[in-house]
Amino acid sequence: MTVQRIPIIEKIMDANDQIAANNQKKLDDAGIFAINLMASPGAGKTSLILQTIRALAPDLKIGVIEGDTAPVTIDADKVLAEGMPAVQINTGGECHLDAMMISNALDQLPLDSIDLLIVENVGNLICPAAFKLGTHTNVLIASVPEGDDKPYKYTNIYRGLEVLVVNKIDLLPYIPFNMDYFRQGVELLNPGLVTFPISCSSGEGVTAWITWLQGRVKQQKSRGK
């Protein structure tokens, strides 16, 4: 008996992409710039989100969608404590967010008062790369303790990026991480990728990331006029 798996998978992805397109239109209509923030567990997704909120508030209103495999609200609670709206998505064990999950979350956010939306995807370097969400930009956080070989091992996620953040650079003197080797792997997959080396702990390099975000939010607002 032959199992027709490929057509079924294609239908699932096509349906997801259609919902993602609807999500992006909803964001465009509201003048919101949205990023899909991906990383391994512990790379610093939530830390970067909190740094971003503190740097941009009160000039910009930032909404956050937190994806997690477990029914906990730890990260969303941190965002709410900063005075910004947040929605927690429990994926029920799924290793990624999908467009329908984002669609449901958007309905729970005050889109008319948000300038920037950050979607914190599930900590994973494989599954999130395959699913469009309707955001405008895919951002990956790589961290120094993860090692310098990740671009060579997880090629799909690095190919699909618009922005790379290299976090925890304050640990470079203490951890064997060859930045040249890492950058070479990134460049082979994604030539000219916009990259921000930062440290969420010390604040080094965060200003450049914030400046880039401010520019993209401004561009999105101007398109909506």
- Res. 9: pLDDT tops 70: no
Give the strand pairing for 86-90 and 116-120: unpaired
Find tokens 């005050």 and name the residue. 110
The confidence band for 43, taking pLDDT boundaries of 50, 70 and 90, is very high
Question: What would the CATH number be for the domain defined by 5-224?
Answer: 3.40.50.300
- Res. 186: pLDDT tops 60: yes
- Res. 3: pLDDT tops 60: no
The confidence band for 163, taking pLDDT boundaries of 50, 70 and 90, is very high
pLDDT (0 to 100) of residue 94? 86
State the Cα–Cα distance between residues 206 and 210, nearest whole angstrom: 6
Stretch 109-136: mean pLDDT: 96
Q: Could you tell me the residue ranges of all domains in the chain?
A: 5-224
Question: Lowest mean pLDDT: which of 1-5, 34-38, 117-121?
Answer: 1-5
Give the strand pairing for 62-68 and 86-90: parallel
Amino acid identity at 115 = D
